[in-house]
Amino acid sequence: MKNTYPKAEKLKSRSTIDLLFTQGKSVSKYPLRLVYVPLESDESDEKIKMGVSVSKKYFKKAVDRNYFKRVLRETYRLNKNRLLDTIDKPYAFMFLYQTKERLSYQEIEEKTVQLFEKFADSIQNKEL
């Protein structure tokens, strides 16, 4: 499986983003949060639509926000196979960084892996 983040996987739809924040469920592993919602319509052949967000409240400078968004996208790209192995229908995700702390790349990647495992557990528990 290729570790890529193609354009078709990027969450751009305003209606899907609104759906995520109104009806979505979430799992957290401080300082990361993953908001998710299953998608009914199959607009594309991708199983995942992913967006990332870093709050302006915590990082005033766009340079800092963009750095953490790049790190989140990279950790997602390298670990998305953990998500793909656990889901059987399309999902939309929003990946949020929620702290003022400036964690290192290794810490963020470790938390991402833990977050994806927590998501997998919550999905399996709902299916049972």
Question: What does the pLDDT average to over 7-24?
Answer: 92
pLDDT at 42: 58
Give me the number of domains the chain comprises: 1
pTM: 0.90
With respect to residue 28, please indicate whether it lies within any of the assigned structural domains: yes
Task: Please compute Rg for the chain using Cα positions.
Answer: 14
Residues 27-38: pLDDT tens digits? 999 999 999 999
Res. 46: pLDDT tops 80: no
| 126 occurs within a structural domain | no
Closest CA to 110 of 78, 67, 64, 68: 78
Read off the tokens for 124: 């399996």
Whole domain around residue 61: which residue ranges? 7-120
Helices (H), 14-128: 14-23, 62-86, 105-127
Burial class (CB in 10 A: 0-12, 13-18, 19+), 74: middle
CATH at residue 88: 3.30.230.10
Give domain status of residue 33, yes or no: yes
DSSP-based three-state secondary structure for 105: helix
pLDDT tier for residue 3 given thresholds of 50, 70 and 90: confident
Whole-angstrom CA distances from 77 to 57, 80, 82 are 26, 6, 10
